[in-house]
Structure 1
Amino acid sequence: MSESRQFCPRCGDPVERPPDADLPGGPSDPDAVLCDDCYFADFELVDAPDRIEVQVCSQCGAVHRGNRWVDVDADDYTDVAVDETADRLGVHVDARDVTWGVDPEQVDQNTIRMHATFTGFIRDTPLQETVVVPVYIARGTCDRCGRIAGDYWNALVQVRGTNRTPTDAEMDRAEEIARDYIAEREATGDRNAFITSAVRESSGLNMKISANQMGEAIAHRIVREFGGNVSAAETLTTEDGDGNELYRVTFVARLPEFTPGDVVDLDDGDGPVLVTSAHGNLKGVRVETGERYEASHEEGIAPEGRKLGTREDAEDTTVVAVEDARAVQVLDPETFETKTVPRPDYMDPDADEVPVLRSRAGLHVLPEDAEDV
């Protein structure tokens, strides 16, 4: 029967042989034959670096990890320091049931001292070890912010109106659509998605976008909401290292001439139209009769017309008398004279007041609100 005991090669004290020492694949660690005193004399439960440096973009807050920048969406960098510390600390391979906790100490704006305490079992002996690792936050500029600062872009999205300038509300919404789209791309981890600039000029809104595909998607989202159409024009800028031609593309989101709420004279003999939609073809309601209107294929998506005013231009005035199913007497809000005007179907015959629009074509009774049409 073989002896299960042997002697420590350092101090000579007898030690128990590991039960699997003679089995194939048994422990090969030379320290396995040491007694507990000699083994723990040089033992380190935790392997920790002297210091950790975390590179952070001073503009967007992204953290440089490995060979790339990562968005962390952090209000401060304590959690980042904890994660970096966890990645850099090593625990002895023979340790079992290891647990650890960390107590961050904010030394200054750019230094966090990490007090990490580890517990575990080695050779059935409970051990505890505390290490202190300073984490330094180094400020820099990530690739994306560097490109933005350098006015890098590939697509130009121009928001324009047809025979008009887009309203402030339209430009606000167009920019919001663009930023929402870029946020969606960023949420997928695409750090090449960004808006370099958004500038308002006398003719409309100009937005510089990082990539052509993104610029095209934004332009189409804008006209999907407002109506209109998108056109594109390429400009050769340079060639890449393989000789491939690189282009910048200008996408023009051309908004319709007339928008919901406009009152338009289409000069077709059937009276002005209150526009209710500019999606696809022009749609609305006749303000003299209340009949529905929709531009025909022959008229095109946006037939020619003259804008008389908008719903916002209307003023409430007194109803003097309802003459019949097609006529009503109202006070002219400017001259206070009684005028007989067409009565559209949407007008409530019992109303005491109605909104009217004054234009060169006369007085027009408009609906109280959009739900009335």
Structure 2
Amino acid sequence: MNATIKDNFCPKCGKPSQAPGLCTECRIGSTPWFTCDHRVKNIQCPSCGATKQVNTWTDSTLDRSEIGPDLARSGVHFHPEVKKPTIDVRIEDISVNRSRAILTLHGTMYKKPVEATCTTEIIWHKEQCDRCNRISGSYYEGVIQVRAEGRIPSTFETQMAASIAQQVEDSLQSGGERLSFISDMTATRDGIDIIVGSQHIGAKISQGIIAQLGGRYTTHPKLVGEKNGRQLFRITYSVRLPRFQKFDVVVIKNRYYEIDRIESHHVKTFDLADGSSKSLREDDIERILGNARNSESAFVAFAENATIGIMDPVTCQTQEYRKPGWLEAKAGDHVAVLRDADHLVIVR
């Protein structure tokens, strides 16, 4: 159809236009519908792989091939009128520290499809992160000293304390607390020392150890300097495990009890003779026989009514004992025992 005097014409190309002003093609041609940065930078810690955006470090396990495409796309900026934009990325490595990204852009602008290509350079920059910088500089804010009242902590307790510390660190790190780290754990003659990077993780680890193993802890701050007008303290967390621990077998008046729970000045026990539950005063305990975790396995030679025959795992001689009321065992089974001189004590 021929144009009439009432039709709109594009003032740039002279073609008929659906509205006053430039036609769609000329509007697209005169408007930069995207811009592409000449270069983008990735800052990554060479020690732990964390990445830095602005001034914030974030833990990351991604490698260059996974980071590159999204990083290249971040350098493209579309005009607000571009709808449903997509970016295809192809990356070529130029050197160890540089890559070239070729981007193919698609979208719709003023209801017309648009397409273009652009190139951006990726700079791979290495910088030590805040956490690794503190660790390498031996920075710390607290020391957790795990000890026990009147005894040396058992191997189980020191291993448990170390495991709890690791679990707390993992939890805080996954929650974004990058500076809540453990810089060292050292077994000592009296227990274990755990050196930490923040006071928050120090308190959390101390609380976790007490919750699992019992006891109490106290804090002892020491002023070590000032920074930006703020006093800096290092805190010693003195964790004291109780005199007794769970599964200790104790002796009172020639009777054996296995500890289930430690309370203030009392212990909840399991009577190894009749299976009853008893609360005992710590001061009444005469001695500790051992801990059921360290028991030996002994063969049951026979079991008849209230009598049980147990083969000593060292001498291989069978001895008769009164069968505990709580024990269910038959000939051929094995039971856990602790040794009290030449006498074997059956434990749970």
Assess same fold via TM > 0.5: yes
1:158 maps to 145
> C-alpha deviations, 1:166-188, integer Å up to 9, x for none?
33333233222222222222222
The amino acid across from 1:316 in the alignment is A
Contact 2:250–2:285 (CA under 8 A) maintained in structure 1: no
1:174 pairs with one of 156, 161, 164 = 161
| 1:105–1:161 Cα change, 3 Å | farther
2:212 pairs with one of 206, 219, 225 = 225
1:284 maps to 269
Q: Secondary structure at the match of 1:163?
A: coil
**Residue 183 (str. 1) matches residue 170 (str. 2):** yes
CA distance in 2 between counterparts of 1:248 and 1:152 reads 10
CA distance in 2 between counterparts of 1:92 and 1:315 reads 77
Q: What is the Cα deviation at residue 253 of structure 1? A: 2.2
1:14 maps to 14
| 1:321–1:178 Cα change, 3 Å | closer
> C-alpha deviations, 1:102-127, integer Å up to 9, x for none?
23345555444322111123455433
Measured on the aligned residues, the alpha-carbon RMSD in Å equals 3.4
Q: What is the Cα deviation at residue 94 of structure 1? A: 4.0
1:212 maps to 199
The amino acid across from 1:269 in the alignment is K
> C-alpha deviations, 1:193-213, integer Å up to 9, x for none?
211222222222211122223
The amino acid across from 1:53 in the alignment is K
Unaligned residue ranges in structure 1 (runs of 5+): 22-32
CA distance in 2 between counterparts of 1:165 and 1:158 reads 13
Q: What is the Cα deviation at residue 146 of structure 1? A: 0.6
Mapping 1:237-252, distance limit 5 Å: 237-242=224-229, 244-252=230-238
1:89 maps to 76
1:57 pairs with one of 40, 45, 67 = 45
| 1:366–1:14 Cα change, 3 Å | same
| 1:174–1:14 Cα change, 3 Å | same
1:5 maps to 9
Contact 2:301–2:318 (CA under 8 A) maintained in structure 1: no
Q: Which stretch has the larger CA shift, 350-359 or 211-220?
A: 350-359
2:245 maps to 259
Number of residue pairs the alignment of both structures matches: 341
The amino acid across from 2:338 in the alignment is L
Higher percent of residues as strand: 2
| 1:123–1:240 Cα change, 3 Å | closer
Mapping 1:345-360, distance limit 5 Å: 345-348=325-328, 350-351=330-331, 354-360=335-341
CA distance in 2 between counterparts of 1:38 and 1:214 reads 59
| 1:99–1:262 Cα change, 3 Å | same
The amino acid across from 2:343 in the alignment is L
CA distance in 1 between counterparts of 2:39 and 2:248 reads 67
Contact 2:300–2:308 (CA under 8 A) maintained in structure 1: no
| 1:309–1:87 Cα change, 3 Å | same
Q: Secondary structure at the match of 1:153?
A: coil
Mapping 1:54-203, distance limit 5 Å: 54-74=42-62, 76-107=63-94, 109-122=96-109, 124-203=111-190
Q: What is the Cα deviation at residue 269 of structure 1? A: 1.7
Unaligned residue ranges in structure 2 (runs of 5+): none
The amino acid across from 1:181 in the alignment is V
The amino acid across from 1:226 in the alignment is L
The amino acid across from 2:257 in the alignment is V
* TM-score normalised by the chain length of structure 2: 0.82
**Residue 344 (str. 1) matches residue 288 (str. 2):** no
**Residue 314 (str. 1) matches residue 330 (str. 2):** no
Contact 2:249–2:290 (CA under 8 A) maintained in structure 1: yes
Contact 2:141–2:197 (CA under 8 A) maintained in structure 1: yes
The amino acid across from 1:274 in the alignment is E
The amino acid across from 1:49 in the alignment is D
Contact 2:8–2:20 (CA under 8 A) maintained in structure 1: no
| 1:209–1:342 Cα change, 3 Å | same
Q: Secondary structure at the match of 2:74?
A: helix
The amino acid across from 1:314 in the alignment is E
Q: What is the Cα deviation at residue 221 of structure 1? A: 0.6
| 1:355–1:50 Cα change, 3 Å | closer
Contact 1:329–1:340 (CA under 8 A) maintained in structure 2: yes
Contact 1:285–1:293 (CA under 8 A) maintained in structure 2: yes
Contact 2:88–2:105 (CA under 8 A) maintained in structure 1: yes
Q: What is the Cα deviation at residue 85 of structure 1? A: 2.1
The amino acid across from 1:359 in the alignment is D
Q: What is the Cα deviation at residue 165 of structure 1? A: 2.9
CA distance in 1 between counterparts of 2:170 and 2:20 reads 58
Q: What is the Cα deviation at residue 357 of structure 1? A: 2.9
* Percent of aligned positions that are identical: 23
| 1:365–1:121 Cα change, 3 Å | closer
The amino acid across from 1:71 in the alignment is D
2:253 maps to 269
| 1:45–1:223 Cα change, 3 Å | same
Contact 1:15–1:35 (CA under 8 A) maintained in structure 2: no
CA distance in 1 between counterparts of 2:322 and 2:85 reads 87
* TM-score normalised by the chain length of structure 1: 0.77
